[in-house]
Structure 1
Amino acid sequence: MTYWLDLFTGTTWEEFRKAGAKVTGFREHQWARAQAIEPGDVFLCYLVGVKRWVGALKATSKRYKSDEKIWKEESFPVRFDVEPLVMLPPEHGVPMEQFEGKLSFFPAGGTAKQWSGFLRSSPTRYKPADGDGILQVLQDTKAKPVSRPVDKKKLLRSANLYKTKLRQGGEEIDAVVGVPVAEVDAEPDAPLQTGGPTHTEIQYRLLDLGSQMGLKVWAPKSDRGKTWNGAAVGSVPRLLGSLPTNFDDVTNSIVENIDVIWFSEENAIVAAFEVEHTTAVYSGLLRMSDLITMQPNINIRLYLVGPDERYTKFKKEIPRPTFAYRKTPLHRICGFLPYSKLCARLDLLKDMVKHVKPEFLEDVAEFYDPADELEA
């Protein structure tokens, strides 16, 4: 039998049960990994925070996509129909400590540091012997449940918290980070002034620009059905069906929600763009900052793209300590691309786009250095 890890928080486990316990789900970037899961495979359900095993579910379908509402905090659109084999309330869950010496990744005398790496991302395939052992204990507990107190704060932790490692001063440190769910425009995708561009127009033109320059391009899956000038975002040539990176789950959760990304033929990120049409400038800068925090060794250009009048807001936000107190301050690598200058340059280039290099945007963008204001 093939076993897969399925992570839940106390809240998402309760929502899953209230929805009928018929469908489990994973994040968008797990689509490729989920292809290996077949009907008959078993999901072993682990409750993060309280560190307990609470269930086993048999897959009754292959992967599919759905945004049907089950969970409040996230969609988890990579779905599988399931049949519960074991479902326990958190107070009857089996503590991880009970498996010491019984699992290949939790040997006798082992510590949480040893086994926690096997519980960071789902779906993750487990060895048959490990899966058999966990399933047997769950079945035994179902027959003879044991009630244990549950820490309510840990039970209610967010699904958007990740335990990961960050590099500081050449050292790796353990850290807990949060990746907010992608925001949507506060207003419909309409021009902010008569005849002005929309969010979708700018997004489409940046994707098309990268494609014409011979780059691979990426846009969030949720935006691909939107259209501009009769063409769908998802129809742009060289648009990737899945992320080509080997990033960890945290970085993938950031990258997959960035409005536009250009990739080289070797699958390295060339440039990333956040189009802030009506959403907060701060949220776009924060996503860029998150990306380079998680991947400090990548060398790319970042651009916040917005209506001309938002440059004033950009200048107020980018000097914040969270962006400025970095080894490389965000303002040195993230420029502001005004709608008017971007559209004017694209209209001027027209059929010549395939002959230009991505670096030409550095001459179009506004790079703001707060130190210049102090010297003035």
Structure 2
Amino acid sequence: MAYYTNLFSPETYEAFSQSDRSVSGFRTTQHKTAKRLKPGDKLICYMTKLSRWIGVLEVESDCYTDDSPVFYGENDPFEVRFRVRPTVWLTKEKCVPIHDDAVWQSLSFTKNTSKQEGGWTGKVRRSLNHLDDEDGEFLEQLLSSQADGGTDYAVDDAEFRKLVSSRIRRADKVVAVTVPEDEDEPSTDDAIRPSYGIQASLAECGERMGFKVWLPRNDRGAVLQKWSPDTDSLIEVLPLNYDDTTLRTIENIDVIWLKGRSIVRAFEVEHTTAVYSGILRMADLLALQPNMDIRLHIVAPESRKQKVFTEIQRPVFSLLERAPLSESCSFISYDAVEELLQMKHLGHLSDSVLEEYSEYAE
């Protein structure tokens, strides 16, 4: 028997709570990982946005594929499924915050780390991450004790409702949208400086993986103070055949990895509180070239993840011609970039390794 993570958004938490709780589903990108699970394994459930442990599900079948709606009324993306039996399922007031001191200092991936840092988030970055037996057993016992009484952790219902996405119909399907509240942007340059270091790290990762790298001309001086290309990997001219408007948009993207004449991945590094600019540029690109098939990433501090997800699900981005922006553009934290850079065998890996560090709005 092994333990694995199972991530729920507030929306899917409510949908599962209102169902018969006999099926748990995952995106098709996790089909290969899902095949590792066996009946008897246990899923330790965690609610994103609220950052709380919420329940334990025992796997009762091998994985199978089914696109019938369970978690959403239509267009349910969680098609890789298991039959499960909930041994613990808590109300949101009983769900245990991961930042609770007793929890934080007991888990192998959080203890002795700062709650303000994001390096610990790898285990709860995506579903079906394997948990050490000690961590799994601790969480299972903790959640079981909560079901028997335990401690109440207050949840503001109005604030919780803001975390639950609304659903609207496009011409082709129903999608999630959010309408964020305005926030002021910082007026100093202090927030900008860390972004150059992240651009440098992304550029170095791309170089080590064998890609050509593009940086905006206005950023090159600052980024090259932190990254010294070992080869001719930094290109001076984009080898792309697009109209001038599209090319100007692409030239301003913070980091681009290219193979031959094709863009493989594009990164916008968000350093402001509002996190608008990079998301707008990605949306502009897809509006100009709806058939463009590239991987897009918003890179920002872990503390801004929820803001990125909220912005990326605005109606204007969810109604793009090709598909909602949230389906093609993921979030990667600053800490995840640095973690990727430290991989010893990065030069022998394909760019698909980034999917292990990418998180998508749900």
How high is the TM-score relative to the length of structure 1? Answer: 0.45
How high is the TM-score relative to the length of structure 2? Answer: 0.47
Larger Rg: 1 or 2?
1
Answer 1 or 2: higher relative contact order, Cα 8 Å, separation at least 6: 2
